Amino acid sequence: MKKLLFLMVVAGILIGVVYWLKNEQAPKAPNLVGRKILAPFNVADVARVEIGGAKSLALAAGEKGWTVDALHGYPADAAKIRDALLKLKDLKAGQPASGISNAAPTTVVLKDAGGKELAKLTMGEQHRSAPRGEMAQFGGGGYPDGRYVALDGSTVVVNDALNEFDGDPKKWVNTKIGEITASDVTSVTYAKGKETVKLTRANGTWSLEGLGPKEELDSSKTYSLDSALSYLNFSDVVDPKKPETELGFATGAVYTATLKNGITYTAKVGNKIGSDSAFKVSAAFKPVGTNATENAACEKTVKDFNDNVGKWTYTISSYSAESMSKTRKDLVKAKEEPKKEEAKPAETKKSEPKKAETKPVEKKAESKPAAKPAPAPATKPAPVPAAKK
Protein backbone atom coordinates (compact mmCIF):
# COMPACT_ATOMS: atom_id res chain seq x y z
CA MET A 1 0.00 0.00 0.00
CA LYS A 2 2.83 2.38 0.88
CA LYS A 3 4.58 1.50 -2.35
CA LEU A 4 1.45 2.33 -4.36
CA LEU A 5 1.03 5.66 -2.58
CA PHE A 6 4.67 6.52 -3.28
CA LEU A 7 4.26 5.75 -6.96
CA MET A 8 1.17 7.96 -7.15
CA VAL A 9 3.06 10.89 -5.60
CA VAL A 10 5.95 10.47 -8.00
CA ALA A 11 3.53 10.35 -10.96
CA GLY A 12 1.87 13.58 -9.83
CA ILE A 13 5.23 15.30 -9.57
CA LEU A 14 6.22 14.14 -13.03
CA ILE A 15 2.93 15.40 -14.52
CA GLY A 16 3.47 18.79 -12.90
CA VAL A 17 7.01 19.02 -14.23
CA VAL A 18 5.88 18.15 -17.76
CA TYR A 19 3.08 20.76 -17.61
CA TRP A 20 5.51 23.41 -16.37
CA LEU A 21 8.05 22.63 -19.08
CA LYS A 22 5.32 22.75 -21.74
CA ASN A 23 4.15 26.21 -20.61
CA GLU A 24 7.68 27.51 -20.49
CA GLN A 25 8.35 26.42 -24.05
CA ALA A 26 5.01 27.78 -25.45
CA PRO A 27 5.17 31.31 -26.99
CA LYS A 28 3.67 33.89 -24.65
CA ALA A 29 1.33 36.63 -25.83
CA PRO A 30 3.04 39.99 -25.38
CA ASN A 31 1.73 42.19 -22.59
CA LEU A 32 0.45 45.23 -24.48
CA VAL A 33 -1.24 47.14 -21.66
CA GLY A 34 0.50 50.44 -21.00
CA ARG A 35 2.64 50.38 -24.14
CA LYS A 36 2.95 53.46 -26.35
CA ILE A 37 0.84 53.08 -29.48
CA LEU A 38 3.13 55.04 -31.81
CA ALA A 39 6.84 54.97 -32.36
CA PRO A 40 8.63 57.89 -30.67
CA PHE A 41 8.59 61.13 -32.67
CA ASN A 42 9.31 64.80 -32.12
CA VAL A 43 6.20 66.99 -32.39
CA ALA A 44 8.28 69.86 -33.76
CA ASP A 45 9.35 67.66 -36.70
CA VAL A 46 5.79 67.01 -37.89
CA ALA A 47 5.00 69.10 -40.98
CA ARG A 48 2.11 67.12 -42.44
CA VAL A 49 -0.79 65.12 -41.02
CA GLU A 50 -2.68 62.86 -43.43
CA ILE A 51 -6.03 61.42 -42.32
CA GLY A 52 -7.40 58.68 -44.56
CA GLY A 53 -10.58 56.65 -44.44
CA ALA A 54 -14.24 57.30 -45.23
CA LYS A 55 -13.35 61.00 -45.04
CA SER A 56 -9.84 62.14 -45.83
CA LEU A 57 -7.94 65.37 -45.47
CA ALA A 58 -4.44 66.68 -44.97
CA LEU A 59 -3.01 69.33 -42.70
CA ALA A 60 0.19 70.94 -43.93
CA ALA A 61 2.63 73.37 -42.34
CA GLY A 62 3.97 76.15 -44.57
CA GLU A 63 5.63 79.53 -44.38
CA LYS A 64 2.37 81.16 -43.21
CA GLY A 65 1.40 78.38 -40.80
CA TRP A 66 -0.81 75.31 -40.98
CA THR A 67 -3.54 74.96 -43.61
CA VAL A 68 -6.35 72.50 -44.40
CA ASP A 69 -6.41 71.13 -47.93
CA ALA A 70 -10.10 70.11 -47.77
CA LEU A 71 -10.95 73.79 -47.16
CA HIS A 72 -8.92 75.07 -50.13
CA GLY A 73 -5.90 75.98 -48.00
CA TYR A 74 -7.85 77.79 -45.28
CA PRO A 75 -5.70 78.53 -42.18
CA ALA A 76 -5.77 75.79 -39.55
CA ASP A 77 -5.66 76.37 -35.82
CA ALA A 78 -2.05 75.58 -34.90
CA ALA A 79 -2.92 75.15 -31.21
CA LYS A 80 -5.48 72.45 -32.04
CA ILE A 81 -2.94 70.58 -34.17
CA ARG A 82 -0.26 70.72 -31.50
CA ASP A 83 -2.66 69.43 -28.83
CA ALA A 84 -3.68 66.55 -31.10
CA LEU A 85 -0.06 65.60 -31.83
CA LEU A 86 0.83 65.61 -28.13
CA LYS A 87 -2.17 63.35 -27.52
CA LEU A 88 -0.95 60.86 -30.14
CA LYS A 89 2.61 60.98 -28.79
CA ASP A 90 1.44 59.92 -25.31
CA LEU A 91 -1.29 57.48 -26.42
CA LYS A 92 -1.04 54.19 -24.52
CA ALA A 93 -2.71 50.81 -24.96
CA GLY A 94 -5.46 49.64 -22.66
CA GLN A 95 -6.94 46.15 -22.52
CA PRO A 96 -6.74 43.90 -25.62
CA ALA A 97 -10.00 43.73 -27.56
CA SER A 98 -10.57 40.14 -28.64
CA GLY A 99 -12.92 39.55 -31.55
CA ILE A 100 -12.66 43.16 -32.78
CA SER A 101 -11.28 43.75 -36.26
CA ASN A 102 -10.60 47.09 -37.93
CA ALA A 103 -12.31 46.18 -41.20
CA ALA A 104 -12.59 49.79 -42.48
CA PRO A 105 -9.86 51.61 -40.58
CA THR A 106 -9.03 55.27 -40.41
CA THR A 107 -5.33 56.00 -40.69
CA VAL A 108 -3.35 58.92 -39.37
CA VAL A 109 0.11 59.36 -40.89
CA LEU A 110 2.61 61.88 -39.56
CA LYS A 111 5.34 63.12 -41.91
CA ASP A 112 8.21 65.56 -41.71
CA ALA A 113 8.94 68.41 -44.13
CA GLY A 114 10.76 66.05 -46.49
CA GLY A 115 7.84 63.62 -46.70
CA LYS A 116 9.41 60.96 -44.45
CA GLU A 117 6.90 58.99 -42.38
CA LEU A 118 7.42 59.55 -38.66
CA ALA A 119 4.52 57.53 -37.24
CA LYS A 120 1.30 55.86 -38.29
CA LEU A 121 -1.89 55.13 -36.37
CA THR A 122 -4.59 52.69 -37.51
CA MET A 123 -7.97 53.24 -35.83
CA GLY A 124 -11.24 51.36 -35.86
CA GLU A 125 -14.57 52.24 -34.36
CA GLN A 126 -15.08 54.14 -31.14
CA HIS A 127 -15.50 52.23 -27.92
CA ARG A 128 -18.70 53.16 -26.09
CA SER A 129 -19.36 53.00 -22.39
CA ALA A 130 -22.09 50.77 -21.01
CA PRO A 131 -25.40 52.65 -20.75
CA ARG A 132 -26.30 53.77 -17.26
CA GLY A 133 -29.24 55.35 -15.51
CA GLU A 134 -31.86 56.76 -17.85
CA MET A 135 -29.88 55.66 -20.92
CA ALA A 136 -30.14 52.02 -19.86
CA GLN A 137 -33.75 52.42 -18.78
CA PHE A 138 -34.87 53.74 -22.17
CA GLY A 139 -32.60 51.57 -24.26
CA GLY A 140 -30.06 54.24 -25.16
CA GLY A 141 -26.40 53.60 -25.88
CA GLY A 142 -23.43 54.81 -23.88
CA TYR A 143 -21.14 57.67 -24.83
CA PRO A 144 -17.82 57.32 -26.71
CA ASP A 145 -15.05 56.86 -24.15
CA GLY A 146 -12.30 55.21 -26.20
CA ARG A 147 -11.14 53.85 -29.54
CA TYR A 148 -10.05 50.54 -30.96
CA VAL A 149 -6.53 50.83 -32.44
CA ALA A 150 -4.01 48.44 -33.91
CA LEU A 151 -0.81 47.57 -32.07
CA ASP A 152 1.66 44.84 -33.14
CA GLY A 153 -0.97 42.88 -35.01
CA SER A 154 -3.48 43.05 -32.16
CA THR A 155 -6.38 45.36 -31.40
CA VAL A 156 -6.42 47.28 -28.14
CA VAL A 157 -8.58 49.97 -26.61
CA VAL A 158 -7.22 53.44 -25.85
CA ASN A 159 -8.94 55.76 -23.38
CA ASP A 160 -9.60 58.57 -25.88
CA ALA A 161 -12.30 58.60 -28.60
CA LEU A 162 -9.97 60.65 -30.89
CA ASN A 163 -12.93 62.59 -32.32
CA GLU A 164 -10.76 65.17 -34.06
CA PHE A 165 -9.46 62.51 -36.46
CA ASP A 166 -12.88 61.64 -37.96
CA GLY A 167 -12.16 63.60 -41.15
CA ASP A 168 -14.23 66.74 -40.46
CA PRO A 169 -12.06 69.67 -41.62
CA LYS A 170 -13.93 72.21 -39.48
CA LYS A 171 -12.52 70.57 -36.34
CA TRP A 172 -9.10 71.93 -37.27
CA VAL A 173 -10.05 75.59 -37.83
CA ASN A 174 -11.64 78.51 -36.05
CA THR A 175 -15.05 78.83 -37.73
CA LYS A 176 -15.85 82.22 -36.22
CA ILE A 177 -15.82 84.88 -38.92
CA GLY A 178 -15.74 87.95 -36.68
CA GLU A 179 -15.92 89.15 -33.11
CA ILE A 180 -17.69 92.47 -33.50
CA THR A 181 -19.03 93.93 -30.26
CA ALA A 182 -22.73 94.65 -30.77
CA SER A 183 -22.81 97.57 -28.33
CA ASP A 184 -20.21 99.41 -30.46
CA VAL A 185 -22.48 99.51 -33.53
CA THR A 186 -23.91 103.00 -34.12
CA SER A 187 -25.58 102.55 -37.52
CA VAL A 188 -26.80 99.73 -39.76
CA THR A 189 -27.77 99.77 -43.43
CA TYR A 190 -29.68 97.12 -45.40
CA ALA A 191 -29.57 97.36 -49.18
CA LYS A 192 -30.99 95.15 -51.90
CA GLY A 193 -31.83 96.19 -55.42
CA LYS A 194 -33.12 99.77 -55.37
CA GLU A 195 -34.15 99.71 -51.70
CA THR A 196 -31.88 101.01 -48.94
CA VAL A 197 -32.86 101.13 -45.29
CA LYS A 198 -30.66 102.98 -42.79
CA LEU A 199 -30.98 102.88 -39.01
CA THR A 200 -28.99 104.85 -36.44
CA ARG A 201 -28.67 104.47 -32.70
CA ALA A 202 -28.45 107.30 -30.20
CA ASN A 203 -28.57 106.88 -26.43
CA GLY A 204 -29.36 103.21 -26.89
CA THR A 205 -32.43 103.81 -29.08
CA TRP A 206 -32.70 102.89 -32.74
CA SER A 207 -34.38 105.16 -35.29
CA LEU A 208 -35.10 104.61 -38.96
CA GLU A 209 -34.71 107.28 -41.62
CA GLY A 210 -37.59 108.19 -43.93
CA LEU A 211 -40.56 107.13 -41.81
CA GLY A 212 -43.94 108.47 -42.94
CA PRO A 213 -46.40 110.21 -40.59
CA LYS A 214 -48.36 106.98 -40.15
CA GLU A 215 -45.31 104.69 -39.75
CA GLU A 216 -43.00 103.74 -36.91
CA LEU A 217 -40.05 101.43 -36.31
CA ASP A 218 -41.08 98.03 -34.98
CA SER A 219 -38.86 97.80 -31.89
CA SER A 220 -39.51 94.06 -31.60
CA LYS A 221 -37.56 93.56 -34.86
CA THR A 222 -34.41 95.46 -33.83
CA TYR A 223 -32.92 92.80 -31.55
CA SER A 224 -30.50 91.49 -34.22
CA LEU A 225 -29.55 94.78 -35.89
CA ASP A 226 -26.23 95.10 -34.10
CA SER A 227 -25.40 91.42 -33.47
CA ALA A 228 -25.57 89.98 -37.00
CA LEU A 229 -21.75 89.87 -37.18
CA SER A 230 -21.10 89.17 -33.50
CA TYR A 231 -21.69 85.41 -33.32
CA LEU A 232 -21.28 84.53 -36.99
CA ASN A 233 -19.70 81.18 -37.91
CA PHE A 234 -19.19 79.74 -41.36
CA SER A 235 -20.51 76.39 -42.54
CA ASP A 236 -17.93 75.89 -45.27
CA VAL A 237 -15.28 77.66 -47.33
CA VAL A 238 -16.07 78.22 -51.01
CA ASP A 239 -13.48 77.35 -53.64
CA PRO A 240 -11.64 80.63 -54.49
CA LYS A 241 -11.73 79.59 -58.15
CA LYS A 242 -15.53 79.67 -58.25
CA PRO A 243 -16.69 82.54 -60.53
CA GLU A 244 -18.29 85.55 -58.85
CA THR A 245 -21.18 85.33 -61.32
CA GLU A 246 -22.22 82.00 -59.79
CA LEU A 247 -22.20 83.39 -56.26
CA GLY A 248 -24.83 86.09 -56.85
CA PHE A 249 -23.27 88.93 -54.88
CA ALA A 250 -24.15 91.50 -57.58
CA THR A 251 -27.88 91.02 -56.98
CA GLY A 252 -27.80 89.88 -53.35
CA ALA A 253 -28.31 91.69 -50.06
CA VAL A 254 -25.72 94.02 -48.52
CA TYR A 255 -25.47 94.61 -44.76
CA THR A 256 -23.30 97.41 -43.40
CA ALA A 257 -22.47 98.00 -39.74
CA THR A 258 -20.56 101.08 -38.59
CA LEU A 259 -18.86 101.19 -35.20
CA LYS A 260 -18.32 104.19 -32.96
CA ASN A 261 -14.55 104.06 -33.62
CA GLY A 262 -15.08 104.60 -37.36
CA ILE A 263 -14.63 101.00 -38.58
CA THR A 264 -17.26 99.81 -41.06
CA TYR A 265 -17.97 96.17 -41.94
CA THR A 266 -19.70 95.46 -45.25
CA ALA A 267 -21.19 91.99 -45.67
CA LYS A 268 -22.62 90.55 -48.88
CA VAL A 269 -25.13 87.70 -49.01
CA GLY A 270 -25.31 85.83 -52.31
CA ASN A 271 -26.98 82.79 -53.82
CA LYS A 272 -28.02 79.64 -52.03
CA ILE A 273 -25.43 76.87 -51.96
CA GLY A 274 -27.29 73.84 -50.71
CA SER A 275 -29.19 74.92 -47.61
CA ASP A 276 -26.71 77.74 -46.89
CA SER A 277 -25.88 81.05 -48.59
CA ALA A 278 -22.70 82.46 -50.13
CA PHE A 279 -21.13 85.17 -47.95
CA LYS A 280 -18.29 87.72 -48.05
CA VAL A 281 -17.32 90.46 -45.63
CA SER A 282 -14.71 93.23 -45.65
CA ALA A 283 -13.72 96.12 -43.39
CA ALA A 284 -12.87 99.81 -43.91
CA PHE A 285 -11.89 102.67 -41.61
CA LYS A 286 -12.72 106.37 -41.55
CA PRO A 287 -11.26 108.25 -38.57
CA VAL A 288 -13.75 109.91 -36.25
CA GLY A 289 -11.16 111.46 -33.95
CA THR A 290 -7.65 112.87 -33.98
CA ASN A 291 -6.00 110.38 -31.61
CA ALA A 292 -3.14 108.99 -33.73
CA THR A 293 -2.62 105.91 -31.54
CA GLU A 294 -6.27 104.87 -31.66
CA ASN A 295 -6.49 105.50 -35.40
CA ALA A 296 -3.36 103.40 -36.02
CA ALA A 297 -4.86 100.55 -33.98
CA CYS A 298 -8.06 100.72 -36.03
CA GLU A 299 -6.12 100.67 -39.29
CA LYS A 300 -4.24 97.56 -38.15
CA THR A 301 -7.49 95.86 -37.12
CA VAL A 302 -8.96 96.51 -40.56
CA LYS A 303 -5.85 95.29 -42.39
CA ASP A 304 -5.64 92.07 -40.35
CA PHE A 305 -9.34 91.42 -40.87
CA ASN A 306 -9.18 91.86 -44.63
CA ASP A 307 -5.99 89.78 -44.93
CA ASN A 308 -7.34 86.87 -42.87
CA VAL A 309 -11.12 86.96 -43.32
CA GLY A 310 -11.96 89.33 -46.16
CA LYS A 311 -10.02 87.32 -48.75
CA TRP A 312 -12.29 84.27 -48.38
CA THR A 313 -15.79 83.41 -49.52
CA TYR A 314 -17.84 81.36 -47.10
CA THR A 315 -21.23 79.75 -46.75
CA ILE A 316 -23.33 80.67 -43.73
CA SER A 317 -26.58 79.29 -42.33
CA SER A 318 -29.91 80.49 -43.70
CA TYR A 319 -30.73 81.99 -40.28
CA SER A 320 -27.57 84.14 -40.34
CA ALA A 321 -28.23 85.15 -43.95
CA GLU A 322 -31.77 86.28 -43.12
CA SER A 323 -30.54 88.48 -40.28
CA MET A 324 -28.52 90.48 -42.84
CA SER A 325 -31.17 90.53 -45.57
CA LYS A 326 -33.96 92.58 -43.98
CA THR A 327 -36.18 94.92 -45.97
CA ARG A 328 -38.15 98.01 -44.99
CA LYS A 329 -41.37 96.06 -44.50
CA ASP A 330 -39.55 93.78 -42.04
CA LEU A 331 -38.76 96.75 -39.79
CA VAL A 332 -41.69 99.16 -40.17
CA LYS A 333 -45.22 98.90 -38.83
CA ALA A 334 -48.31 101.13 -38.86
CA LYS A 335 -48.17 103.83 -36.26
CA GLU A 336 -50.36 103.18 -33.27
CA GLU A 337 -53.11 105.72 -32.56
CA PRO A 338 -52.67 107.90 -29.45
CA LYS A 339 -54.48 106.75 -26.35
CA LYS A 340 -56.65 109.88 -26.21
CA GLU A 341 -58.18 109.00 -29.55
CA GLU A 342 -59.13 105.62 -28.17
CA ALA A 343 -61.20 107.34 -25.45
CA LYS A 344 -63.50 109.18 -27.88
CA PRO A 345 -66.01 106.34 -28.33
CA ALA A 346 -66.49 106.22 -24.55
CA GLU A 347 -67.30 109.95 -24.48
CA THR A 348 -69.91 109.48 -27.23
CA LYS A 349 -71.61 106.74 -25.26
CA LYS A 350 -71.82 109.00 -22.22
CA SER A 351 -73.49 111.80 -24.19
CA GLU A 352 -76.29 109.57 -25.46
CA PRO A 353 -78.19 109.43 -22.16
CA LYS A 354 -78.24 113.21 -22.09
CA LYS A 355 -80.12 113.26 -25.36
CA ALA A 356 -82.47 110.64 -24.01
CA GLU A 357 -83.21 112.84 -21.04
CA THR A 358 -84.34 115.72 -23.24
CA LYS A 359 -86.61 113.56 -25.34
CA PRO A 360 -89.37 113.16 -22.70
CA VAL A 361 -89.52 116.90 -22.35
CA GLU A 362 -90.05 117.28 -26.05
CA LYS A 363 -92.64 114.50 -26.11
CA LYS A 364 -94.47 116.01 -23.18
CA ALA A 365 -94.69 119.32 -24.93
CA GLU A 366 -95.95 117.65 -28.08
CA SER A 367 -98.57 115.54 -26.28
CA LYS A 368 -99.99 118.42 -24.31
CA PRO A 369 -103.51 119.02 -25.62
CA ALA A 370 -104.00 122.26 -27.35
CA ALA A 371 -105.64 124.84 -25.14
CA LYS A 372 -109.35 125.13 -25.92
CA PRO A 373 -110.70 128.66 -26.47
CA ALA A 374 -112.40 129.98 -23.40
CA PRO A 375 -116.18 129.63 -23.73
CA ALA A 376 -117.96 132.79 -24.45
CA PRO A 377 -119.77 134.08 -21.40
CA ALA A 378 -123.42 133.16 -21.44
CA THR A 379 -125.49 136.06 -22.54
CA LYS A 380 -128.18 136.92 -20.16
CA PRO A 381 -131.60 137.44 -21.77
CA ALA A 382 -132.48 140.96 -22.12
CA PRO A 383 -134.95 142.04 -19.46
CA VAL A 384 -138.52 142.08 -20.59
CA PRO A 385 -139.99 145.54 -20.14
CA ALA A 386 -142.72 145.63 -17.58
CA ALA A 387 -146.32 146.00 -18.90
CA LYS A 388 -147.81 149.31 -18.62
CA LYS A 389 -150.78 149.65 -16.38
What is the DSSP track for 92-143?
B--SB-TT---SS-EEEEEE-TT--EEEEEEEEEEEEPPP-HHHHHTT----
Distance separating alpha carbons of residues 200 and 226, to the nearest angstrom: 10
Cβ 269 vs Cβ 247: under 8 Å = no
Q: What is the mean pLDDT of the chain?
A: 84
pLDDT-derived band at 100 (thresholds 50, 70, 90) equals confident
Report the share of the chain in percent with pLDDT over 90. Answer: 63
186: number of Cβ within 10 Å = 17
Q: Where are the domains of the chain?
A: 43-172, 182-334
Q: Label residues 329-365 b or e (16+ Cβ within 10 Å = b).
A: eebbeeeeeeeeeeeeeeeeeeeeeeeeeeeeeeeee
pLDDT tens string 38-71: 999 999 999 999 999 888 999 999 998 999 999 9
For 150-196, the pLDDT digits (tens) are: 998 889 999 999 999 999 999 999 999 988 999 999 999 999 999 99
Give 370's DSSP letter.
P
CB of 100 closer than 8 Å to CB of 124: yes
Tell me the per-residue pLDDT of 115-135, one tens digit each, with 9 for 90 and over. Answer: 999 999 999 988 888 766 565
Q: What is the pLDDT of residues 238-284, one digit of tens each?
A: 999 999 889 999 999 999 999 999 999 999 999 999 999 999 999 99
What predicted TM-score, i.e. pTM, was given to this entire model?
0.73
Distance separating alpha carbons of residues 277 and 361, to the nearest angstrom: 78
Q: What is the DSSP string of 7-39?
A: HHHHHHHHHHHHHHHHHHHSPPPP--TT-BSS-
pLDDT at 341 over 60: no
Q: Which residues pair with 109 in a beta bridge?
A: 50, 120
Q: Residue 143: pLDDT band by 50, 70, 90 thresholds?
A: confident
* Residue type for position 379: T
Residue 364's pLDDT is: 47
Return the higher-pLDDT residue of 358 and 34: 34
